[in-house]
Amino acid sequence: MNEVKNIHICLVTISLAKGGAERAVANQSRMWHDMGARVTIVVLNHEIAYPYAGQIWSLDRKKSQKVSFGRWSRFQQLKKFLKTEQPDFVIDHRPKNNYAKEWLYKKWLYRGLQIIYVTHSAHVPMYMTQWPKYFARLCQSNWANVGVSQWIEKNVLGSYAMKKTQHIPNGIEPTWTQDHMEASQVAQRPYLLWYGRLDDSVKDISFLIKAYTQSKAPSLGIDLRIMGQGPDRARLEKKSRETGHEACIVFMDFQADPRPIIAGARAVLLTSFFEGFPMVLIEALSLATPVISLDINSGPNEIIRDQQNGLLVGQRNSRIFAQAIDCMCLDEYFYQLCRDNAQDSVRHFSMAQIATQWKALVTHE
């Protein structure tokens, strides 16, 4: 039984909204709560959209307590909170892109605490700062350094000789597959789906739009839905209008509960330049929706069984990706095969399985 009673877990995250990593933290809070731990979530920006469990401690909210409350004062409040509460483990999920700031976190804010850092991206500067070699040295005294994919553990953490590394993937919360609206209630026209943060420098949604317009999907009456918010939405909407297929490319706002839309899609698509362990893929497959993804670093080839639950596209070539879209849209037998295999293919990412790994990490069982 995965019980860790009498343990206080403190999760640290930017927010509980908008991104896959943030959804993973929210899921993890519920996992620890269900295991019997006391859970505190420190959020740096008070944006909360995903269901969570435990107590929220918001650094962002502290600035409203006094007009003159500066960032340093708020960090002093967090230091006081951690010193008073003395959590058994601090599990830090933040991006770590500035060495000086991370030195402050490690040497001052977290001093005397058991720390676990979680790396959610294959992009080294995002989680290993601009000086990864020196950052790795900072992390040597951590209780553990976790990568959310095998590739990250080997090629990011391992490349800088980081000690006490482990691979623990993101998991699917049990309620994710329960009580969502039937797909038939979502839309009349069939559609392909992309969802996430509209940041083209990371997600390469421009490539997706190009591949979609080169496929046969528009002529088949199969739309492309792009769901989410982000800095590039207006530019991407303009790009979609320039294709001549703007009637088929539908932009949707961020949805805190996207399950009905995911379940109703013909397939979920991923075209990022890099990822960590893309939640969108396991979320889609757990709802029996096939996936199509570029074979990028990192995560897709640890989730997708090519031609069994979806398609892995080996080149960033829009015509080849368009052919993958055509295969999923035109070959009904293949589509049904992927759909039938989808849920079983990600059962090992259930939160019960992931909880076992986390329990072993904090208890050394």
CB 348 within 8 A of CB 172: no
pLDDT 10s digits, 53-100? 999 999 876 554 444 456 778 888 999 999 999 999 999 999 999 999
Give Cα 119 distance to the centre of its chain.
11
Closest to 247 (Cα-Cα) out of 200, 212, 196: 212
In the sheet with 291-294, reading across from the earlier edge strand, the strands are: 249-252, 223-227, 191-195, 268-270, 291-294, 310-313
- Specify the pLDDT at position 64: 47
**Where along the chain do the CATH 3.40.50.2000 domains lie?**
8-171+350-363, 177-347
Q: Give the CA distances from residue 156 to residues 64, 115, 125, in Å, rounded to whole numbers and listed in that order.
A: 38, 19, 10
CA distance 104 to 231: 30
- The top-level CATH class assigned to 8-171+350-363 is alpha beta
CA distance 271 to 273: 7
Phi, psi angles (nearest 5°) of residue 303: -120, -45
- Specify the pLDDT at position 184: 46
Task: Tell me which residue has tokens 């639950």.
Answer: 309
pLDDT 10s digits, 286-334? 999 999 999 999 999 999 999 999 999 999 999 999 999 999 999 999 9
How many Cα atoms within 13 Å fall on the side-chain side of residue 277?
27
What architecture is the 177-347 domain classified under in CATH? 3-Layer(aba) Sandwich (3.40)
How many Cα atoms within 13 Å fall on the side-chain side of residue 66?
7
pTM of the entire structure?
0.91
Task: Tell me which residue has tokens 């001093």.
Answer: 111
